[in-house]
Amino acid sequence: MTSSPNFTLRVVAIDDDVQHLKFISTVLSRDQVVVSTTGDPQAGLELVHQQRPHLVLVDLVMPGTTGIEVLEKILQFDPAAEVVLLTGEYSTEFAVEAIQKGAADYLTKPVDVAKLQQRVDSLLLELRKGQRCLELENELLDNSQFAAMVGHSAAMLEVFHRIRRIAPHYRTVLVTGETGVGKELAAQALHRMSPVAAGPFITCNCSALVETLAESELFGHVKGAFTGAVQDRLGLFETANGGALLLDEVGELSPASQAKLLRVLQNQEIQRVGSPAVRRVDVRVIAATHRDLQAMVKDGRFRQDLYYRLGMVHINVPSLARREDDLPLLERYFVKRFAEQYGKPVRGITRRAQALLAKYSWPGNVRELENVLGSACMMTEAEAIDVGDLPEYIRENQIDSDQLGETLVTLGEMERKYALRVLQSAGGNKVRASELLGISRTKLYRILGDSDSAESGGLPPADLGQEVD
Residue 154: predicted pLDDT: 93
CA dist 61 and 46 (Å) reads 19
Which alpha helices (H) appear in 346-400, and where do they start and end? 351-359, 365-379, 392-396
Residues 378 and 413 occupy one common structural domain: no
Residue 329 lies in a domain: yes
Residue 469 lies in a domain: no
Residue 132, helix vs strand vs coil: helix
CB-based contact 432:465 (threshold 8 Å):
no
CA dist 260 and 279 (Å) reads 14
Expressed in angstroms, the distance from the first to the final Cα of the chain is 83
Query: Domain boundary at 108, 138, 168, which?
Result: 138
Residue 458: predicted pLDDT: 39
CB-based contact 122:104 (threshold 8 Å):
no
Residues 371 and 431 occupy one common structural domain: no
CATH number, position 13: 3.40.50.2300
CA dist 120 and 26 (Å) reads 13
Residue 57 lies in a domain: yes
Residue 401: predicted pLDDT: 38
Query: Domain boundary at 396, 426, 445, which?
Result: 396
CA dist 149 and 146 (Å) reads 5
Residues 442 and 304 occupy one common structural domain: no
Residues 277 and 391 occupy one common structural domain: no
CATH number, position 363: 1.10.8.60
Return per-residue pLDDT of the chain as tens, 469 residues: 344 446 788 899 999 888 989 988 988 888 888 999 999 999 999 999 888 888 899 998 888 888 889 999 988 877 778 898 888 777 777 778 888 888 888 888 888 888 888 888 888 888 788 778 777 877 888 888 998 899 999 999 999 999 999 999 999 999 999 999 999 999 999 999 999 999 999 999 999 998 888 889 999 888 877 877 778 888 999 999 999 999 999 999 999 999 999 999 999 999 998 888 899 999 999 999 999 999 999 999 999 999 999 999 999 999 999 999 999 999 999 999 999 999 998 988 988 899 999 999 999 999 999 999 999 999 998 888 988 899 998 988 654 434 444 444 455 666 676 677 677 767 778 877 776 666 777 777 777 775 444 433 433 333 333 333 3
**Domain containing 331: what range?**
323-396
Number of structural domains found in the chain:
4
Query: Domain boundary at 357, 381, 396, which?
Result: 396
Residues 223 and 132 occupy one common structural domain: no
Q: Which helix (H) or strand (E) holds 33?
A: strand 33-38
CA distances from 67 to 58, 207, 215 (A): 6, 59, 71
Residues 291 and 431 occupy one common structural domain: no
Residue 4 lies in a domain: no
Strand partners, 288: 175, 248
Closest to 362 measured CA to CA, from 383, 390, 332, 402: 390
Residue 64 lies in a domain: yes
Residue 404: predicted pLDDT: 42
